[in-house]
Amino acid sequence: MTTLVYNIPVFGWALREAVCGPAATKLLFIVNLLACWLLAILAFGYPAIIIPALTAVPAMFVALILITWDR
């Protein structure tokens, strides 16, 4: 699965460097993601703020279920 993700033309090599590279590369990857998000907000406005929040809701819901699951 990781090789499939790493073979994406632009995003794959940056992700591979962020995972396997030094700490500075990880920090710069996060800064680049935030910069891309800010540019999307400038270009598209309010939907660029709301859509990531709406996609995070199911992930947080699953995380809360897994945390509180009585095994």
With contact defined as beta carbons under 8 Å apart, do 25 and 13 qualify? no
Q: What is the pLDDT of residue 4?
A: 85
Inter-axis angle of helices 46-68 and 23-44, to 10 degrees? 130
Q: What is the pLDDT of residue 55?
A: 92
Nearest in space to 33 (alpha carbons), one of 21, 15, 58: 15
pLDDT along the chain (71 residues), means of 10: 81 86 91 94 94 93 92 75
pTM: 0.68
Q: What is the pLDDT of residue 13?
A: 83
- What CA–CA distances, in Å, run from 52 to 15, 49, 55? 19, 6, 5
Q: What is the pLDDT of residue 18?
A: 87
Q: What is the pLDDT of residue 35?
A: 96
What are the residues whose beta carbons fall under 8 Å from the beta carbon of 13, sequence distance 6 or more? 6
